[in-house]
Structure 1
Amino acid sequence: MLNVYTVWTIIGYVALVPVALAGVSTLLNGVLAKKIEAYHAMVRHTTRPDFREDSSIPRNGMHAVKMYSWESIFRDNYRFMYERPALTTGLWLAQLFASVMDMCLAQVATGLALVVYAGSNGAVPYTQVVLFISCVRSLVEFANMPAKVVEQLKSFKVADGVFKEIRNASKQTFIDSETASSDRQGEVDLDKCVFSWGEGKFALQPVSVVIAQGSFVGVVGKVGSGKSSFLSALCGGMPLIEGSGVVRGTVAYVSQNPWIMNATFRDNVLFGNDYDERRYLQTLEACALSEDVKQLPSGDMCEIGHRGINLSGGQKARLALAR
């Protein structure tokens, strides 16, 4: 209000020009903030990390799509893929317009007010011009403040969610090999352990199992019974809610979807370890990779493309196992 009064004393009724522009700016900033938030929400909705645009299933395995009734899933996936560029373009344009308006509004309001005043009252003294410009800029910044406050509140909300996750994680208990007691038997020893991904989410009911050193164990069960969750719990990735359990020694994990580096075949196996020819060849033989290496153009020095593009599915799985 002090800025409005100061501008009014300098140029009189012409002060209504920057005040009106500041009001319009406040309204536009509110509309743009809602529009940008809506675009952000739609872009997040159309982001599907489980779907690759280069998926070859519809081209080479349409029978699988029909057999598993995946038609609606692939239809939605491709709709998301084609909608996303338009949404990101709209978001970019809205943010660009908001930035340009934020940068230019003070100059436009100042120039327009001075032109109107000079046209009706003649020249404006230099000292008053400097004070006038300062007041108008403060007025415009005040008008843009609500949009900035909204953005800050959103940032605080996101940060608060992150801190809550960190606080919750610090309270969670996991299987810890460092606290293994001497009276327990086996490399893996679980006693009435209940694991859960969180409140209201999937939970493994009390599990009691002892796995001896050197044994070979397979976990079987129907779809959705918790086989992958059980393995995640053994790796220390699923919180322990009740019971007690220990896993001695180290854990080597080969995921269901093989992770392949964009490097040579040998580097994918060694993964930064020193090259021990005897152990290396034994590993290739144990993982049935010896014949595969012979078929590669440059043997084990052959470059493996992005995500193992020049390997079959079985080769990628055995390569990850060899690592």
Structure 2
Amino acid sequence: MFRGTSLRARLFIARLWLTRAKKTYADVGALHRSIEQSQGPGAAQPPATLWRRLSVRCREVDGRPCYTLAPKAPTSSKHVLYFHGGAYVHQIQKDHWSFFERLIERTGCTVTVPIYPLAPDHKSDETVRMIKDAYNELLGDTDPGDRVIMGDSAGGALALVLSEALEEAHEPQPKELVLICPWLDITMTDPALPELDRIDPYLAVAGLREAGRLYAGDLDKRDPLVSPLFGPLSNLGRVSVFVGTRDVLLVDARRLRDRARDVGVGLEYHEYPGMFHAWLLADIPEGHDALKRIATVVGRVREFPHETRESPA
């Protein structure tokens, strides 16, 4: 683990501040303007370079495209179902596709990416129904020991919601559940949030609260379907969490870590000092280090003890 922030990471953070990247979430009006731009035609399609380098297939589930990416000569039976972030209102980004390619290169795994419904046109019930159908239809023929559910930010919450639904239905848990900077509580009421908001160069509480409101619809914001931190968290499989200390969602990750310890869920916790939201998608040393750790999680087969473990800071 890094003990100091790399030069490339510091430059990346400085660029976020200089370009006012945070404004999208700091200003509710800016958030609404960004939604239309993010959800424009063609925004969710993989870049042309990916089609040349990987085997890419598209299949519809509930009328929504789902892209399956794999090496042209597969070397692993592991299958990752990945839910992208974007506060439930923003479409998948180009950096996500680059991250998938790097993960596939390291592990030889297959990655399937559902392009799930987004708010405000679609609410949480429709989104959750679609991700459950995607899991059953696209990973149904994969051995549970080869299944990995993964997601970042809002996608991390969807990954946890899906795992909880599998437990409720008495279905096998995936081999691994990987949560990257997960947004697990859309109430955004933790008392630590104002200080984290001050140092986060990308996310802000005001915009996340509005995005959560748009997504929840008629559901209470503490309903586990939209805030899975309030779910039972019982009998989950192996869980790994990655988060940075300059991320307003740090509070969600720490609360999940503490709850997992309380209920006896095995959880590996990786907290990166100085890192911002979803830094794993960036081409920086800390991102490469986290990707290496995630690749190990995807590829491992050993049993994981039911205890909470933290990587060294």
TM-score, normalisation: structure 2: 0.22
Identify the structure with the greater helix proportion: 1
Identify the structure with the greater strand proportion: 2
Q: Answer 1 or 2: higher relative contact order, Cα 8 Å, separation at least 6.
A: 2
- Structure ID, larger Rg: 1
